[in-house]
């Protein structure tokens, strides 16, 4: 099993921490992991992205130009990364502010309106965990118990009282993610 | 006890330094390596191991603090990124001339000038050909994973003390900023003053009645003496070349084409080897771990087996010159590079092999 993920959005949406939590979760499961962020001017106001790889095997390149899964949280990211999803792969996006929706027919597309839900349920601070939940529903590779362990190791202990609200946000994400276009699963993660 | 952590390459360097019992770190912040000093400062090692962590007023000051600490036989280090490394070259030349051990880390960013803060490998020449003035060499180690960032701190110190020569860990923004699993070594105590006197009788630890005074200098105005000193240095570099070469090979046994890459580029090339072999192309990879001393012999040997060699560097082509010297025309050698902060994709590397060697 090798899962190559790109997560992209605005700086401040929690893209890098979401990637960190997935990487920690993979490590908790005994997998090989890598986390490669964009750093510098991009994360200071513009777009931020992170490549996370979770694998049973030694990871070769931590930087990739095609992905099994793209999690895209703004228009720039949809525009930039839609074409980089492998045929048969998965694209998950937040519909907030999207005018030009993803259109590929050879990949599975899911929509999670996490920004809208975060505002409605007053969960703005756990927005990225709603998105994480959507990912976990679509691709059940990392499990709740490991994600919670991952959160625990990546969050400073003064924030540990927030763990239950993060768990709630993950469950919300699992609930509200909807399929837009689903291709047959002959290219699922199991055959990699 | 060994600990497994998820760390950035820069953080791994700092953690490894504290655990190895380093006496002092002197540095000045610059992206993409600032986490080294940030992590050291956050860990407060002065409270636990007694390690000094000091933010100097400039890179020039940092390297000269290292010069001073190294002269006392202490394990001292500094780190910077490309523009800061340029400022340190004068100090490094003095340290090499005075034959002192120390460890320097360069987390390379694109140049020239202030360039960019994104990863590059364009400081190869500066690192392996001396860098400052005079005939000298640094021992140069090129980590290609976060684990190696941690492992090469002790290795660099061991080599530096063995040869009384500065050792450089040549990393880049990718290895510095990425996170991977890393197993950290157990803590070991710093050397005591008595241990330093025993292990390093050359160190300036205070004049003792039983020995003549120790003088640390790179100055020798008598040409005969200076020539003898240079001959001694050259003999030392030859000794390194004979005994300290380190490299790793992937899928080279049956390879028709050979990739040569170090550090980040070697990671990209491992993926390129996988892709090429899925497409029926027998490609192998040689990854130099020491850039000085360079794996000249291993490359020369493989050159007789393959139909072509492609070096992949995040530069306009620097290591390719040392590869050509090693190959001595036995097989065609080409270079593929991206620069200015762009990391090449594995697919681009495979395309470059096809373009260079399998035309039509």
pLDDT digits (tens, 9 = 90+) for B303-323: 999 999 999 999 999 999 999
CATH T-level assignment (fold) for domain A2-191: Pyruvate-ferredoxin Oxidoreductase; domain 3 (3.40.920)
Do B3-193 and B248-357 have matching folds? yes
The class that CATH gives domain B3-193 is alpha beta
The pLDDT tens digits along chain A (192 residues) read: 999 999 999 988 999 999 999 999 999 999 999 999 987 666 566 789 999 999 999 999 999 999 999 999 999 999 999 999 999 999 999 999 999 999 999 999 999 999 999 999 999 889 999 999 999 999 999 999 999 988 888 788 898 998 999 999 999 999 999 999 999 765 444 444
Within an 8 Å CB–CB cutoff, is residue A33 touching chain B? yes
> How many angstroms separate the CA of residue B134 from the nearest CA in chain A?
36
- Cα R_g (chain B), whole angstroms: 21
CB A170 within 8 A of CB A134: no
Q: Where are the domains of chain B?
A: 3-193, 248-357
Q: A179 CB contacts (<8 Å, ≥6 apart)?
A: A108, A109, A110
pLDDT tens digits for B213-265?
Answer: 999 999 999 999 999 999 999 999 999 999 999 999 999 999 999 999 999 99
Residue range B321-341: average pLDDT? 97
CB A109 within 8 A of CB A181: yes
pLDDT for position A43? 57
DSSP state at residue A96: T
ipTM: 0.91
Q: Which of A37, A40, A60 sits opposite B117 (nearest CB)?
A: A40
Pairing of strands A67-72, A2-10: parallel
Residue range B21-31: average pLDDT? 98
pLDDT tens digits for B40-60?
Answer: 999 999 999 999 999 999 999
The reply to whether residue A60 touches residue B267, judged by beta carbons under 8 angstroms, is yes
pLDDT tens digits for A79-116?
Answer: 999 999 999 999 999 999 999 999 999 999 999 999 99
CB B104 within 8 A of CB B92: yes
Residues of chain A positioned with their CB less than 8 A from the CB of B177:
36-37, 39
| C-alpha distance across the termini of chain B, in Å | 57
Residues of chain A positioned with their CB less than 8 A from the CB of B7:
none
pLDDT for position A190? 46
Residue that is written with structure tokens 């794996």 in the block: B295
Q: Is B113 exposed, middle or buried (0-12, 13-18, 19+ CB in 10 A)?
A: exposed
CATH T-level assignment (fold) for domain B248-357: Rossmann fold (3.40.50)
pLDDT for B34 beyond 50 = yes
Within an 8 Å CB–CB cutoff, is residue B265 touching chain A? no
Report residue B100's pLDDT band, with 50, 70 and 90 as the boundaries. very high
């Amino acid at each position: 099993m090798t899962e190559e993920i790109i997560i992209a959005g605005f700086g401040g949406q929690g893209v890098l921490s979401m990637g960190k939590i997935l990487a920690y979760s993979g490590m908790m499961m005994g997998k090989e992991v890598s986390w490669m962020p964009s750093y510098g001017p991009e994360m200071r106001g513009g777009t931020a992205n992170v490549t996370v790889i979770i694998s049973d095997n030694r990871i070769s390149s931590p930087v990739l130009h095609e992905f099994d899964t793209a999690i895209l949280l703004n228009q720039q990211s949809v525009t930039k990364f839609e074409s980089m999803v492998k045929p048969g792969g998965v694209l998950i996006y937040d519909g907030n502010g999207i005018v030009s929706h993803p259109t590929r027919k050879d990949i599975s597309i899911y929509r999670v309106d996490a920004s809208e839900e975060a505002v409605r349920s007053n969960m703005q601070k756990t927005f990225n965990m709603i998105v994480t939940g959507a990912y976990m529903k679509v691709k059940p590779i990392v499990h709740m118990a490991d994600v919670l362990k991952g959160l625990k190791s990546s969050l400073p202990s003064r924030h540990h009282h927030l763990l239950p609200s993060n768990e709630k946000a993950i469950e919300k994400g699992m609930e509200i993610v909807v399929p837009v276009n689903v291709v047959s699963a002959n290219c699922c993660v199991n055959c990699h | 006890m060994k600990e497994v952590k998820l760390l950035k390459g820069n953080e791994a360097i700092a953690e490894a330094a504290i655990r190895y019992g380093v006496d002092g770190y002197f540095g000045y912040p610059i992206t993409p390596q600032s986490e080294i000093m940030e992590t050291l400062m956050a860990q407060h090692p002065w409270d636990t191991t007694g390690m000094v962590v000091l933010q100097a007023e400039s890179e020039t000051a940092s390297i000269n603090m290292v010069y001073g600490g190294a002269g006392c036989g202490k394990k001292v280090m500094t780190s910077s990124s490309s523009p800061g490394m340029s400022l340190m070259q004068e100090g490094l030349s003095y340290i090499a001339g005075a034959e002192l051990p120390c460890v320097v880390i360069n987390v390379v960013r694109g140049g020239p000038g202030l360039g960019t803060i994104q990863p590059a490998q364009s400081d190869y020449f500066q690192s392996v050909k001396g860098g400052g003035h005079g005939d000298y060499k640094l021992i140069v180690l090129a980590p290609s994973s976060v684990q190696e960032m941690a492992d090469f701190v002790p290795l660099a110190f061991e080599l530096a003390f063995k040869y009384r020569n500065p050792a450089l860990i040549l990393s880049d923004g990718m290895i510095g900023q990425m996170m991977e699993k890393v197993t950290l070594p157990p803590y070991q105590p710093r050397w005591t003053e008595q241990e330093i006197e025993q292990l390093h009788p050359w160190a300036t630890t205070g004049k003792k009645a039983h020995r003549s005074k120790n003088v640390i200098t790179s100055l020798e105005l008598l040409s005969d003496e200076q020539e003898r000193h240079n001959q001694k240095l050259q003999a030392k570099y030859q000794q390194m070349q004979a005994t300290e070469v380190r490299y790793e090979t992937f899928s080279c046994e049956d390879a028709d084409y050979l990739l040569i890459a170090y550090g980040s580029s070697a990671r990209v090339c491992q993926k390129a080897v996988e892709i090429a072999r899925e497409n029926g192309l027998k490609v192998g990879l040689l990854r130099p771990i020491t850039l000085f001393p360079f794996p000249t012999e291993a490359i020369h040997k493989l050159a007789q087996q393959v139909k072509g060699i492609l070096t992949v560097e995040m530069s306009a082509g620097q290591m390719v010159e040392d590869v050509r010297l090693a190959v001595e025309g036995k097989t065609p050698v080409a270079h593929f590079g991206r620069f200015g902060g762009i990391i090449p994709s594995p697919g681009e590397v495979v395309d470059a092999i096809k373009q260079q060697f399998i035309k039509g």
